Structure 1
Amino acid sequence: MTRYFFRSLAVLMLSLNMVWAQIPSPKQHFGFAIGDDYQLATYTQTEAYFRKLASASDRVKLVDIGATEEGRRQLMLIVSSPANLKKLSRYKEISQKLARAEGLNDEQARAMALEGKAVVWIDGGLHATETVGTHQLIETAYQLISRKDPETLRILDDVVILLTHANPDGQEIVTNWYMREAKPEKRSLDNVPRLYQKYVGHDNNRDFFIMNMKETQNIGRQLFVEWIPQIMYNHHQSGPAGSILAGPPYRDPFNYVFDPLMVTGIDALGAAMINRMNVENKPGFTRLSGSVFSTWYNGGLRTTTHFHNMIGLLTEIIGGPTPEDVPLVPKRLIPNGATPFPVTPQKWHFKQSIDYSVSLNYAVLNYAARYRDEVLFNIYRMGKNSIERGSKDTWALSPKRIDAITQAYDSDPKKVVTPTNAALAQYGYIPKGGGMPLKYYDTIMKAPALRDPRGFIIPANQADFATAVKFVNALIKTGIQVQQATGDFTVAGKKYPAGSYVVKSDQAFRPHLLDMFEPQDHPNDFQYPGGPPVRPYDAAGWTLAYLMNVQFDRILDAFDGPFKKLPYGELQSPEGHLAGTAGEGYLLSARANNSFIAVNDLLASGVEVFRLPNGTGLQPSGESGAFYVPASAKAKSLLDKSVKDLGIDVVGLAKRPTTTMTKMTPMRIALWDTYGGSMPSGWVRWLMEQYHFPMKVIYAQDIDAGELRKKYDVIVFVTRAIPSTNTKEVDLYSLFGSEPKTETTPAEYRPWLGKITADKSVPQLKTFLENGGTVVTIGSSTNLAYHLKLPVKSALTEMTNTGVEKPLPGEKYYIPGSVLQMNVDSTQQATWGLPTLTDVYFDASPVFKVAPEAIASGKVKPLAWFSTNKPLRSGWAWGQSYLQDGIAAFVAPIGSGKLYAFGPEITFRAQSHGTFKLLFNQLYVTGPASVAATSGN
């Protein structure tokens, strides 16, 4: 019997060794080892390798999660033990149920946590020039699949690992660029000619709460609908100078909607990661105040998971295929809490970064294996906490409310403050028995009107319901439970129609839900009292419902109605309507963004379309700027399709309107871009494609060549296209790299070189305008107004004691990316379809001051402005009172043409649907006004 056992065991081990022997190493496949200097793999090679691994190993399941923007297949490798792979559907079900926490109690959750396997997501390559990310993914896959050591086997037994390629297109672009040089030492990642994601480049990591891009949608479905991992690890570069990598935990502030278990979960994983680095004698890990990374922002691949109770991890590591130096940064050399084990200056090689990354992955996976049931139970507990908070009266803490408590106390003439307590309080110390009476807390923090909402209702009868449905779909893509009314209903005395959407807050991903509807309240964060502000890692405020101009009601008490729960992940389509009899024509609302798609399709098919400057008085579609389409068979066919596909409402008119109308003609649209690619331009290009605006991308050389009016009717300049008139002003974006040389740039990319200049480009733009052209400028490109010497100046300056006018310092005025509210003159053609109060994305944006005589003479016509000293809606606005009476947007006639200047980011990351019309309205030629002779409706 013993002899038979050992013979069988020998046969089994021989079989296993044969299987393992068949697994190709990276060097066998690529021709080099991962981490070899001067060597990068293309995505084509990587995809082939992943498919080989899946064919050769029973530890792998290959999943195609969707197509990229350029049509490549985006792959995810699911790695686990062969036994686990046979039960993947069950482990996915457990992961989903625990994350959503619906209908479970603690006992049931603990039982499922014991049965389940920890699910860990590891990605790479999102930012394609950060080449460590992609290549550590290849090496990690190989090691997990080929290694036989006890740690790896334990990980495979207790963890389901989702190894996901985040940007296939980018890897192909960047690797081909780097490897084009035959001589290795000449290879460089500098000056890649185009964005490494077709439209948005680096901003592919700013898309995860709206999911416009295909890659984001593919990833988001796996993270928030399909697998909902308990831990996700997002690899990036580069580490802070003088260190090797930055990792968890991160600096404050963290967002106030988080469950504390998520925050302390990051602490625990961060400890496991840095401990492993120290054990393996790998110095240079910095954290907390040692880097700039925080957990405040939503919208990134890592950060959006925080709002879904996942332990989202980010590391930023140095390294690349070309060896580099770890620089000498003296303040980094002394050990402290942020950097316990500093690294010394030295030459650094790609292989070292790969080894660090694999070790970090193993640290995360080892933690997940050892605490498998705990990480599974904890995501349930966080979800359950959210459900419980959303089911009762709660009050959110925020800096504004804390300040309100302090102000109430300070302004109370009856408060009692002993001299001793007052003296100690200034140092933040409250002695025993000290502190404020609870009445101040109860008054502010338990005011009935300040309760957190029990849910939100999005009425189906709002003016732009199709855009509201896009917002609903953004929620659905991120795993939010949405309900829809099957009949009319009443809540809090207000009636709502069938088809309205309902989003209740008693659900597991309540932090994300609140973040999309409620304003962010970023703290006033300064380096020291009275000192300069600490820049947020990204935006400070982004409330998506505001940016998309979605009309919703915030419901404070429990409510119910004829609601059906929509299946998780099931996207919605708005239902359009064609009302009335179209004897003479059709009316489309200017308030609906999708109307522009329908109009562009009509114009492209040769159908006449008119705009009604004064409207018709017919509701709901007869406002100023409404579109009128004369009746014809072709018009009806196209509009029937638009009603069905776009969800727009079209009104049939029995009689032709008698009000003034102007005929529309498609413009010849040019959109500025630059060598290397502009992300704001890429977003606008994508946006124009979605809304069916034909356009051509042009570059500085095209502008400098002149004769622009012969080729274009309108030129659009996004932010950072037009330079400042102040030659001493630092161009922050020039710090990221020098202009490539013509002689070293491949011929096919040379027409993209160059920048807009005051001496060559501006005179050509001036001539274009004088000859009847239209120029639209956004953000800092409104600098063109100063180049053209228009009678406008910055509203954000102050006069110094020496009589010199200078920009306001950060200690007095600072508004990073936030949502503000501006007044709009909605009677102007440029602003048709907008409400008179409009939320807008503002990111240190220009604000103007215009002399009254310039307005009176018609030299400048304000389109939008800030009428209050508190326009902040969401985010952080220090010194916002300086904005009062400042002009946010204007139009100025120049010769026969017009210059439009929009200071705020009206197309920001294709998220600000509420202000898209400020661009769209300028993209048509309108003929002279005419009035129909027939009687009107």
Structure 2
Amino acid sequence: MFKVFRLAAIFLLMVQTSGWSQTLPSPKEHFGFNIGDDYQLATYTQTEAYFKKLATSDRTKMVDIGLTEEGRHQFMLIVSSPENIKKLDRYKEISQKLARAEGLTEEQARAMSMEGKAIVWIDGGLHATETVGTHQLIETAWQLVSRKDPETLRILDNVVILMTHANPDGQEIVSNWYMREPKPEKRSLENLPRLYQKYVGHDNNRDFFIMNMKESQNIGRQLFVEWIPQIMYNHHQRGPAGSVLAGPPYRDPFNYVFDPLMITGIDALGAAMINRLNAENKPGFTRLGGSVFSTWYNGGLRTTTHFHNMIGLLTEIIGNPTPETVPLVPQRLIPNGNTPFPVTPQKWHFKQSIDYSLSLNYATLDYAARHRDELLYNIYKMGKNSIDRGTSDYWTLSPKRAEAITQAYQADLRKAKPDSAGRTGAAASESASGNPRGGGIPVKYFDAVLKDPQLRDPRGFIIPASQTDMATAVKFVNALIKTGIQIQQATAEFTVAGKKYPAGSYVVKTDQAFRPHVIDMFEPQDHPNDFPYPGGPPIRPYDAAGWTLAYQMNVQFDRILDAFDGPFKKLPYGELQSPTGHLDPASGAGYVLNARANNAFIAVNDLLKSGVEVYRLPSGVTGKANVESGSFFIPSSAKAKTALEKSSKDLGLDVISIAKRPAGALVKVSPMRIALWDTYGGSMPSGWVRWVMEQYHFPISLIYAQDIDAGDLRKKYDVIVFVTRAIPGLGNAGVGSRGEGEGFQGREPKAEELPAEYRPWLGKITADKSIPQLKKFLEAGGNVVTIGSSTNLAYHLGLPVKNALIEMTNSGQERPLPAEKYYIPGSILRVTLDSTQQATWGMPTQTDVYFDASPVFKLAPDAIAKGTVKPLAWFSTNKPLRSGWAWGQTYLQDGVAAFMAPVGSGKLFAFGPEITFRAQAQGTFKLLFNQLYTNSVAQ
């Protein structure tokens, strides 16, 4: 009897601890519906509860990876076999060591590849309105935890799966919005009142090389510091019309810093995915030129992994909890290499997209299980290749290098003399240089360009600790650290290439596994001139064409060509840095903060809030080279000293003491009542600025079109900020749509369709109602700051400025320059500034700006003389491109990029470039910050 009882107890214990599906609820049992049922969405609250139930299985481990911007817990569910779950630390260690490839021999790498398990990341829900993503994650987790078929068991034995929810806040917002309608057939994802990520909405997938958002930081730590998976799979929507989904491989161009193994790795996974769908009779997968997606851009959740030697996968699938129809697109019906198995028009249900996604996940996991050791070894091999390239003379191939070869060859052809046979031009040059039969250019031209010592890739970069805005430089260093880059710091003064650097300087060498990302953050991107045919319109990049973060943040660094060393210590991976400041010990008249430092504005805002007086110095301080025009002066007081001691320590600011009050007039600084435009549905540029304002302690209020139309603005505000796409265009003069600015895209909902709390957000900026109120605001002494296309306000106000990027047609009509002549997608350009103006205080005389088809102005001949317009920034050369793609950039020369114009008693500030772009363009933040104080002359 005792023996029977003991056996029963053992059996009961096995049931409780084995993770058998009988002890776990199915999605239907938990949510009350099957995942993929029409008209049904799960909230994040429900999903979190379900994942916690799945986490009781011995096939899982649930990890809290951090809090979201709205304070929710963000979870990663790790799934593998029970035996692997017990050894996760070891498999993580193997993955890290192979990915970083530091000090491993070939034999050690091979052995670790055989011992380790493939690490595969699968996420969902980053873009919360793309509801397939979150729900396929739920269904896949259930299938992996509950199934016992041979394929699933093989996957669990050979793969560690990191299932990560990418946007908990967004799922809660979107699902609650959809499910609020009690009648299923009336449910809709349309008319979402606000961004589904607290600040940036869809742009949460453009944050992954700087990681400003908390969700990005949580995810980035797992991807680039902790686990470094060999494969990451990023689920999105939606597929091109007439297809079911777009997936790998992707169209050209790919970024030239990539290891070829990464690109061919994507090809291999893409083949596995499409093969599985074809075998399961699931048509509609398009790839390559069948979609717009490429591997050029850095900064996306998927794309940043490419710069870390990971096989980053993206699929964009159709599907919606409300059934839809696959539309008829005749050209998509023809099988070709892009779409071998076209889908035909049909009604499409949510469950079909879930089933496709499950098949795609299993295809990826099955490939990983079958090629486990190969994947582990290949990420080591790519890392080793990067280390080798960083320790030798290496030249990255790129379009400008290829063009340099062609130009050198053609120059020789033009000046070639007749040879002994009397041949001239090309024939003589080719004869003399031994041009190979069958075409091509003599190899000597390759050697002349791609073996030029001055054109080779650097061995590293040095960020001097002596720069005027070291705190921002540390933010840049932290962006690198968050993406898993190895950073070194000097423990003492050192000299490289004849230049002395102080202790505390940061060193980033290129002999590391994630070299592609290092190069990409410091070096300019060289996007090809991408046209479908000569003379045709440009092919738009998937996102930005150039983004070099060191340029955007105005970080001063030296590019070191030759091998170098010094008193450097390696910082632990993932360990963020804090800037160090200094406060002069004694003060006579007061203290000075250099306006070059972005963090100085945080200190000033804190001082003003506490009641301390702050002034600006129009001419700096004589004899103090580091006290430039616009620097802040704080009269000495106990309260000021206490506050500045804290700012110096927390913000990394150098606070200078001065014995005498500066001579001449001072400008007293007072806080402004700041309004920031936003709209129903949310503006991403506005959200980014709101986040920036919070970080720099500027108090703001949001303002909507209805608030502006109601008038009396001057009673409430001192300055109104309009980000891009707020102000409508005005004929050929303007940039952007005519007639109305950005509001809700598509059919704007009627007020009665919405909860009362959202109705005040409706409306758009219009020429007939809004512009007259803004003019009254300006005339009454208010200031308006416009960015990007919202500089259209200058045309509405009749200021003496014109669009510089127009031409005259044969019929005598003005029109914008056609894209065949002029095209600049998101890229970095250099402008010249008048840094003596209050609006540009703290800026250098030249700076890099983020330019995205941005407006450029031409001033009326007498505008400057009459004082009706003051140029703040302009293009002083015909080649301002620094990073990206600028077709026809010569049209920019002498064009005005930014100006100030008095309107009545107020001022309009117009900044054509995106001076706050995605909170990355920190080198131009001051162009906004300077306009957010009331300045009055004081003795």
TM-score range, shorter chain: over 0.9
What CA deviation, in whole Å up to 9, does each residue of 1:169-202 have, x standing for no partner?
A: 0000000100000000000000100000000000
Q: Is contact 2:290-2:338 (8 Å) kept?
A: yes
Change in Cα spacing, 1:416 to 1:20, as seen in structure 2 (3 Å) is: farther
Quote the Cα distance in structure 2 between the aligned partners of 1:60 and 1:377. Answer: 26
- Residue 122 of structure 2 aligns with an amino acid whose one-letter code is I
What CA deviation, in whole Å up to 9, does each residue of 1:401-423 have, x standing for no partner?
A: 1001001101102399999999x
1:388 aligns with 2:383: no
Structure 1 residue 435 displacement after superposition: 2.0
Residue 44 of structure 1: aligned partner:
45
What CA deviation, in whole Å up to 9, does each residue of 1:60-106 have, x standing for no partner?
A: 10000000000000000000000001000000000000000000011
Residue 746 of structure 1: aligned partner:
755
Residue 94 of structure 2: aligned partner:
94
1:930 aligns with 2:938: yes
1:344 aligns with 2:344: yes
SS of 2:731 mapped into structure 1: coil
Quote the Cα distance in structure 2 between the aligned partners of 1:192 and 1:76. Answer: 27
Q: Is contact 1:590-1:621 (8 Å) kept?
A: no
Structure 1 residue 739 displacement after superposition: 1.1
Change in Cα spacing, 1:921 to 1:163, as seen in structure 2 (3 Å) is: same
Residue 353 of structure 1: aligned partner:
353
- Residue 582 of structure 2 aligns with an amino acid whose one-letter code is H
Residue 720 of structure 2: aligned partner:
715
Residue 227 of structure 1: aligned partner:
227
SS of 1:623 mapped into structure 2: coil
SS of 2:862 mapped into structure 1: helix
SS of 2:931 mapped into structure 1: coil
- Residue 649 of structure 1 aligns with an amino acid whose one-letter code is D
The 5 Å alignment of 1:92-171 reads 92-171=92-171
Residue 414 of structure 1: aligned partner:
416
Structure 1 residue 700 displacement after superposition: 0.4
Quote the Cα distance in structure 2 between the aligned partners of 1:409 and 1:736. Answer: 51
Q: Is contact 1:522-1:875 (8 Å) kept?
A: yes
1:546 aligns with 2:555: no
What CA deviation, in whole Å up to 9, does each residue of 1:143-181 have, x standing for no partner?
A: 000000000000000000000000000000000100000
Question: How many pairs were matched up?
Answer: 919
Structure 1 residue 14 displacement after superposition: 7.1
Residue 881 of structure 1: aligned partner:
890
SS of 1:833 mapped into structure 2: coil
Structure 1 residue 432 displacement after superposition: 4.0
SS of 1:640 mapped into structure 2: helix
Structure 1 residue 589 displacement after superposition: 0.3
Change in Cα spacing, 1:309 to 1:656, as seen in structure 2 (3 Å) is: same
- Residue 887 of structure 1 aligns with an amino acid whose one-letter code is V
For structure 1, which segment, 860-869 or 719-728, has the greater mean C-alpha deviation from structure 2 after superposition?
Answer: 719-728
1:826 aligns with 2:835: yes
Quote the Cα distance in structure 2 between the aligned partners of 1:32 and 1:101. Answer: 47
2:844 corresponds to which of 826, 835, 841: 835
1:706 aligns with 2:708: no
1:475 aligns with 2:480: yes
Residue 603 of structure 2: aligned partner:
598
Residue 638 of structure 2: aligned partner:
633
SS of 1:219 mapped into structure 2: helix
Quote the Cα distance in structure 1 between the aligned partners of 2:679 and 2:19. Answer: 54
Q: Is contact 2:680-2:744 (8 Å) kept?
A: no
Quote the Cα distance in structure 2 between the aligned partners of 1:668 and 1:634. Answer: 24
Change in Cα spacing, 1:734 to 1:251, as seen in structure 2 (3 Å) is: farther
1:872 aligns with 2:881: yes
Quote the Cα distance in structure 1 between the aligned partners of 2:905 and 2:169. Answer: 44
Change in Cα spacing, 1:735 to 1:32, as seen in structure 2 (3 Å) is: same
Q: Is contact 1:250-1:294 (8 Å) kept?
A: yes
Structure 1 residue 439 displacement after superposition: 1.3
The 5 Å alignment of 1:453-532 reads 453-532=458-537
2:853 corresponds to which of 834, 844, 864: 844
- Residue 135 of structure 1 aligns with an amino acid whose one-letter code is H
What CA deviation, in whole Å up to 9, does each residue of 1:370-421 have, x standing for no partner?
A: 0000000000000000000000111111101100100110110239999999
The 5 Å alignment of 1:501-900 reads 501-579=506-584, 581-726=586-731, 729=737, 736-900=745-909
Quote the Cα distance in structure 1 between the aligned partners of 2:417 and 2:172. Answer: 68
Quote the Cα distance in structure 2 between the aligned partners of 1:313 and 1:765. Answer: 47
What CA deviation, in whole Å up to 9, does each residue of 1:450-470 have, x standing for no partner?
A: 110000000000000000000
SS of 1:527 mapped into structure 2: coil
Change in Cα spacing, 1:639 to 1:800, as seen in structure 2 (3 Å) is: same
SS of 1:839 mapped into structure 2: strand
1:902 corresponds to which of 911, 915, 924: 911
Q: Is contact 1:253-1:295 (8 Å) kept?
A: yes
What CA deviation, in whole Å up to 9, does each residue of 1:334-360 have, x standing for no partner?
A: 110000000000000000000000100
Q: Is contact 2:680-2:743 (8 Å) kept?
A: no
Q: Is contact 1:458-1:552 (8 Å) kept?
A: yes
* TM-score, with length taken from structure 1: 0.96
2:450 corresponds to which of 434, 445, 456: 445
Structure 1 residue 621 displacement after superposition: 3.5
- Residue 411 of structure 1 aligns with an amino acid whose one-letter code is A
Q: Is contact 1:463-1:620 (8 Å) kept?
A: no
Quote the Cα distance in structure 2 between the aligned partners of 1:202 and 1:619. Answer: 46
Q: Is contact 1:821-1:866 (8 Å) kept?
A: yes
Residue 239 of structure 2: aligned partner:
239
- Residue 830 of structure 1 aligns with an amino acid whose one-letter code is A
Change in Cα spacing, 1:901 to 1:415, as seen in structure 2 (3 Å) is: farther
Quote the Cα distance in structure 2 between the aligned partners of 1:415 and 1:519. Answer: 38
* TM-score, with length taken from structure 2: 0.96
Residue 65 of structure 1: aligned partner:
65
The 5 Å alignment of 1:232-271 reads 232-271=232-271
Change in Cα spacing, 1:859 to 1:436, as seen in structure 2 (3 Å) is: same
Change in Cα spacing, 1:197 to 1:93, as seen in structure 2 (3 Å) is: same
Residue 216 of structure 1: aligned partner:
216
Residue 934 of structure 1: aligned partner:
none
SS of 2:513 mapped into structure 1: coil
Quote the Cα distance in structure 1 between the aligned partners of 2:276 and 2:437. Answer: 42
- Residue 790 of structure 1 aligns with an amino acid whose one-letter code is L
Structure 1 residue 522 displacement after superposition: 0.1
| RMSD of aligned alpha carbons | 2.0
Change in Cα spacing, 1:580 to 1:322, as seen in structure 2 (3 Å) is: same
Quote the Cα distance in structure 2 between the aligned partners of 1:515 and 1:775. Answer: 36
- Residue 59 of structure 2 aligns with an amino acid whose one-letter code is R
Q: Is contact 2:726-2:741 (8 Å) kept?
A: no
Quote the Cα distance in structure 2 between the aligned partners of 1:215 and 1:17. Answer: 33
Quote the Cα distance in structure 1 between the aligned partners of 2:463 and 2:26. Answer: 54
Quote the Cα distance in structure 2 between the aligned partners of 1:414 and 1:283. Answer: 58
Quote the Cα distance in structure 2 between the aligned partners of 1:116 and 1:501. Answer: 34
Change in Cα spacing, 1:488 to 1:506, as seen in structure 2 (3 Å) is: same
Could you list the runs of 5+ residues in structure 1 that have no partner in the other structure? 932-937
Change in Cα spacing, 1:362 to 1:409, as seen in structure 2 (3 Å) is: same
The 5 Å alignment of 1:294-309 reads 294-309=294-309
For structure 1, which segment, 87-96 or 431-440, has the greater mean C-alpha deviation from structure 2 after superposition?
Answer: 431-440
Quote the Cα distance in structure 2 between the aligned partners of 1:509 and 1:732. Answer: 42
Change in Cα spacing, 1:622 to 1:14, as seen in structure 2 (3 Å) is: closer
- Residue 544 of structure 2 aligns with an amino acid whose one-letter code is A
SS of 1:357 mapped into structure 2: helix
Could you list the runs of 5+ residues in structure 2 that have no partner in the other structure? none
Structure 1 residue 853 displacement after superposition: 0.3
Quote the Cα distance in structure 1 between the aligned partners of 2:742 and 2:425. Answer: 53
What's the % identity of the aligned pairs? 79
Structure 1 residue 742 displacement after superposition: 1.3
The 5 Å alignment of 1:324-343 reads 324-343=324-343
